[in-house]
A = this chain, B = another copy of it.
Amino acid sequence: MAASKDPRPCSIADTLALVGEKYSLLVMREVCLGNGRFDQLVRNIGAPRDILATRLKRLVDAGILTKRMYSERPQRFEYRPTTAGLELEPVLMTLMAWGDRHLRKDDDRPMVIEHHCGNELVPVVTCSACGEEVRHGEKTPHPRTPGWTVSGPTAA
């Protein structure tokens, strides 16, 4: 049963350890929108410059962002998402959808995304196997580490 003091091994936790610090996901939002310059990030996110600098270093080290020079003289840089970084977009979209649904009344959404199908993009999480929308209660978690179980029926 391993060291019983360790928390549950979990990819959610691991992902959050990387991008879960304050501002990191907002950085991803901005770079995914194409706003990758330092001062843009500062303004659009509202983060302290020093902290933003730390976050950017971490995200670059993690292979989620790249730092690109867009001007040699004077040297100017811009951050862009790597492929791995772009793949965080589903996370951003589900976060945004939740906020739109629960934190705002009706139609004051600050941003609407248009899908290339022509409709407004309302993201839905589906099962890749059957294509159905994933609802709570229609799935069963199976921990694969000895000693780690789930308790009750996951109900509300």
Contacts and interface: CB of A to CB of B under 8 A. Distances in A.
A155 to B, nearest CB: 8
A105 interface: no
Q: This chain: how many copies in the complex? A: 2
A150 B34 contact: yes
Given A10-B96, A94-B94, A103-B11, A121 B117 contact: no
Interface residues of A, number: 96
B111 A129 contact: no
Contact of A150 (B35, B45, B92, B145): B35
B156 A94 contact: no
Contacts of A150: 33-35
Contacts of A44: 7-8
A43 interface: yes
B156 A85 contact: yes
A69 interface: no
B18 A20 contact: no
A114 to B, nearest CB: 5
A21 B25 CA distance: 12
A117 B127 contact: yes
A26 to B, nearest CB: 6
Interface string A23-47: 0011001101111100010011110
6 contacts: A10-B110, A11-B98, A15-B103, A82-B156, A91-B98, A126-B126
